[in-house]
Amino acid sequence: MFEITTEAQFSAAHRLKNYQGPCENLHGHNWLVRATVKCTTLDQSGIGIDFKILKNNLKQIIEEFDHKDLNAVLGDLNPSSENIARLIYSKLKKSLEDWDGSVSRVEVYETPGNCAAYYE
């Protein structure tokens, strides 16, 4: 089994619903997203998936979040790191459905050292 990981960043604001504390107020983060995919076979070049393909797919997904109010973008979905990780995972899985591998894990960092991850 091979795992391939890439990272991308976006800046966005959010406020957590049903939260008792300062994070219920609108505030921003420079988010880091780390996406990992897995595969069992390599192509003729010894590559599971080209980093450029994985990174471009991830960037297209997070582009809709960049410099936005995540509450407005996500509607009824509370914009927690956990929910964002699950949403990005789902979108990445769909964008790579023709590839002979699978999404393994998506990690979303609100701040350095604070991460929520989603995997199936």
Q: From first to last of its 120 residues, what are the pLDDT tens digits of the chain?
A: 999 999 999 999 999 999 999 989 999 999 999 999 999 999 999 999 999 999 999 999 999 999 999 999 999 999 999 999 999 999 999 999 999 999 999 999 999 999 999 999
* Separation of alpha carbons 61 and 35, rounded Å: 11
CATH number at residue 85: 3.30.479.10
What tokens were used for 114? 């604070």
Q: What is the pLDDT of residue 31?
A: 98
The closest alpha carbon to 35, from 14, 45, 16, 49, belongs to 49
Does the CA dihedral 45-47-53-59 come out positive or negative?
negative
Write out the residue range of the structural domain in which residue 82 sits: 2-118
Question: Hey, what are 33's tokens?
Answer: 């997203």
What's the confidence (pLDDT) of residue 23?
87
* pLDDT recorded at residue 104: 98
Query: Structural domain tally of the chain?
Result: 1
